[in-house]
Amino acid sequence: MKLGIPRIGIALGALMLLTGAAHAATNYLGPTDVLASPDGAALFVLAKDAGSILVVDPAKGAVVRKMDCAAPNAIALSPDGKVLYVACGGPAGVVRFLDAATGQEQGSVAVGHTPAAVAVTPDGKRLYVCNQFNDDVSVIDVAAKQQTARLPMVREPISAAVSPDGKWVLVANQLPLDAGDSYDVACTLNLINTADNAVTAIRLLNGSTSVRNVCISPDGKYGLAVHLLSRYQLPTTQLERGWVNTNALTIVDMATGKLLNTVLLDEVDLGAANPWDVACTADGALICVTHAGTHEVSVIQTEGLLKKLATFTGDPRAQSDQYSAVVAPPNDLAFLVDLRQRIRIQGRGPWGWLDADRTEANGPRGMAIIGNKAYVAAYFSDKLAVVDLKEDPRRAVSLIALGPKPELTPQRLGELNFHDAWLCFQHWQSCASCHPNDARMDGLNWDLLNDGLGTPKNNKSLLLTYQTPPAMSTGVRESAEDATRSGFKNILFSVQPDAVLTAVDEYLKSLTPVPSPHLVNGQLSDAAKRGKDLFNSEELGCAKCHPEPLYTTLKPYNVGSRGQYDREDSYDTPSLVECWRTAPYMHDGHFKTLKELFTVGKHGKKHETMEQLSPEQVNDLVEFVLSL
């Protein structure tokens, strides 16, 4: 009954999502980033949801001008402050050159799928643009307004920073690209040598995921990255002392291109969830980190941090072992005591929200620093929080309204709840900690307790989960609604009113797929068309378990994938929509690529025809599935 009766409605609902029909117009600004002009007289605020750039006079504390720009993702300024570079769009990404004084477009350069960050060399001659879903970086000649190179990164490059001498570009890859059942799963930073565009890799500590932003210290000596340090090899039985997720700052020695160490931003009994942006004061004396989950800014003393780190000479990878008894920076929740202030920008007191609808200053993301003041984009509040870095933390924050007070729809309230670590015991994490980037996945295996202890499963994207019951790899939750409520209770260790949970439901139902980077002008490539014919053929029978439009029958099957820790033979058939971004594959994340799944894993081996495919046919089949 639970699967049969609603199927027609489920399929129609999925079709609405696939065509984008579920999106509704909003009046939100959604500020995600802030840039300061070279003279500090103006702030440029990226209002992502409104499709505009707002110019704020920090002296007046008010918006003085607006520039419209379709689908902006990231902004950067030329060294002289005269040109604003705006990375825009999705599959057909573009960087627009705008006159910073007038907003007039001066030209544009086509780049890749979802340009997520722009970094400018100090001489103003080149741009380095992170193409998030092409897994590469575009190099642009500014004078010629021309792309000159595409440099491969690891997975979802999302942030970039250029060293003060212009010799290096530090790039953050948001997600790891490892088999989920590996002992070591971690994100990678890439370092680009601007002399020849050679790329090297700096692997972060085991469990590092959801890297959000990077910066380089003003003296050029250190690279800084903020991310989660997940304790994914432990069962999710508690949250105390960072048992599940901790929140971290990694320091890179730019002279050697090696990881110096990783420090935790949390405290022993109080998490600092979802670090988003990192920046230094001009003199390098302070490192500032925004925390999107706990609505605060960490202000860290640079000199004291480096001196304390200098006392640890061992290998930080050994120190970070999740079973290590050694008290070292990656495991020390008291490391920043006396070196850091936590400045809350959200109006919440010991008895609850001081601002009843939680729009005072919610969801800090990007920031810019002018002198002793940090200007922080409060995403859900359509405001800038102004943090005086020299003031008493209790009196340090004032607010600049960027527009009218937003009225939260159920979907927007659900998005806010999804990202809010105040809804978690001791604020260690939010739903977005394990499901970053619009409720997708973190690339890790987790040992959740809904199917017994010692049964790790690869984290799943939440796209279409409400249209494809049951939920979880083993189908232990009858619906996504059940899974959401179980998640708050057993993962966030929190009991919430039904209104909070229902809003999260509405947000997740509103998610829409991102077009695949494997499409050509929005259509299947010739290889993918051949792969589609194979997929739908009677001989292979792929479509029997993965029929359109959801590419799942909503039923479990035994496909011979049982692993050493599993207690089940049959697993719920997942939707293949957005399969291009959900690696690693299978319930235990055993395969990094689909090609590996088909050739090594022999997925579909019950159909003998699968083993008879030529290498070219395998490639065609992979191309089709990656195009969904």
pLDDT single digits (tens) 239-248: 999 999 999 9
CA dist., res. 353 & res. 358, Å (int): 7
Last residue in a domain, options 111, 137, 152: 152
**Pairing relation of β-strands 115-120 and 94-99?**
unpaired
CA dist., res. 603 & res. 560, Å (int): 8
Can you give the pTM of this predicted structure?
0.92
Q: What is the CATH number of the domain that holds 585?
A: 1.10.760.10
Other C-beta atoms lying within 10 Å of the C-beta of residue 352: 10
| Residue closest to 115 by CA, chosen among 77, 176, 84, 74 | 74
Residues 490 and 571 occupy one common structural domain: no
Inter-residue contact 39 to 81 (CB < 8 Å): yes
Mean pLDDT, range 214-241, rounded to an integer: 96
Note whether residue 421 is domain-resident. yes
Residues 482 and 447 occupy one common structural domain: yes
SS3 content of the chain, % helix, strand, coil (to 5): 20, 30, 50
Is the pLDDT at 2 greater than 50? The verdict is: no
Mean pLDDT, range 361-370, rounded to an integer: 95
The H or E element spanning position 34 is strand 31-36
Mean pLDDT computed over every residue of the chain: 90
In this structure, which amino acid lies at residue 176?
P
Q: How many helices (H) and strands (E) does the chain have?
A: 13, 34
Q: What is the DSSP string of 61-129?
A: TEEEEEEE-SSEEEEEE-TTS-EEEEEE-SSS-EEEEEETTT--EEEEEE--SSEEEEEE-TTSSEEEE
Note whether residue 78 is domain-resident. yes
pLDDT band at 594 (very low <50, low <70, confident <90, very high): very high
Mean pLDDT, range 512-534, rounded to an integer: 96
Residue 378, C-beta contacts closer than 8 angstroms, at least 6 positions apart:
31, 345, 361, 362, 363, 364, 365, 384, 385, 399
CA dist., res. 360 & res. 390, Å (int): 22
Last residue in a domain, options 123, 152, 181: 152
Residues 551 and 610 occupy one common structural domain: yes
**pLDDT by residue (tens digit) across 279-300?**
999 999 999 999 999 999 999 9
Note whether residue 77 is domain-resident. yes
Question: Mean pLDDT lowest for which of 7-16, 112-121, 263-272, 546-555?
Answer: 7-16
Mean pLDDT, range 110-133, rounded to an integer: 98
**pLDDT by residue (tens digit) across 268-279?**
999 999 999 999
For the packed helices 526-536 and 615-626, what is the interaxial angle rounded to 10 degrees?
A: 100
Which tokens hold the place of 477?
A: 């939750």
- Percentage above 70 pLDDT, the chain: 92
Residues 541 and 600 occupy one common structural domain: yes
Residues 532 and 586 occupy one common structural domain: yes
Largest CA distance in the chain: 72
Note whether residue 221 is domain-resident. no
Domain count of the chain? 3
Peptide bond into 470 cis (omega under 30): yes
Inter-residue contact 227 to 209 (CB < 8 Å): yes
Q: What is the CATH number of the domain that holds 116?
A: 2.40.10.480
Note whether residue 483 is domain-resident. yes
| Residue closest to 579 by CA, chosen among 627, 510, 519 | 627
Residues 554 and 581 occupy one common structural domain: yes
What is the per-residue pLDDT for 583? 96
Residues 502 and 547 occupy one common structural domain: no
Q: Can you give 396-428 as a three-state secondary structure string?
A: CEEEEECCCCCCCCHHHHHHHHHCCHHHCHHHC
What is the per-residue pLDDT for 229? 97
Residue 28, C-beta contacts closer than 8 angstroms, at least 6 positions apart:
49, 50, 382, 406, 412
What is the per-residue pLDDT for 361? 83
Note whether residue 208 is domain-resident. no
Inter-residue contact 201 to 188 (CB < 8 Å): yes
Helix (H/G/I), strand (E/B), else coil: 576 = coil
Q: Which residues pair with 222 in a beta bridge?
A: 253
Question: Mean pLDDT lowest for which of 240-249, 336-345, 565-574?
Answer: 565-574
Is the pLDDT at 550 greater than 80? The verdict is: yes
Residues 618 and 567 occupy one common structural domain: yes
State the residue range of the domain holding 421: 7-21+413-509
Question: Mean pLDDT lowest for which of 227-231, 475-479, 579-583?
Answer: 475-479
Question: Mean pLDDT lowest for which of 189-198, 333-342, 595-604?
Answer: 595-604
Residues 493 and 575 occupy one common structural domain: no
Other C-beta atoms lying within 10 Å of the C-beta of residue 319: 19
Is the pLDDT at 266 greater than 50? The verdict is: yes
Is the pLDDT at 507 greater than 90? The verdict is: yes
What is the per-residue pLDDT for 605? 61
Note whether residue 95 is domain-resident. yes
Is the pLDDT at 504 greater than 50? The verdict is: yes
Q: How many residues does the chain have?
A: 628
Note whether residue 127 is domain-resident. yes
Question: Mean pLDDT lowest for which of 126-140, 298-312, 409-423, 561-575?
Answer: 561-575
Last residue in a domain, options 122, 152, 182: 152
**pLDDT by residue (tens digit) across 20-48?**
333 344 689 999 999 999 999 999 999 99
Residues 481 and 572 occupy one common structural domain: no
In this structure, what DSSP letter does residue 237 have? S
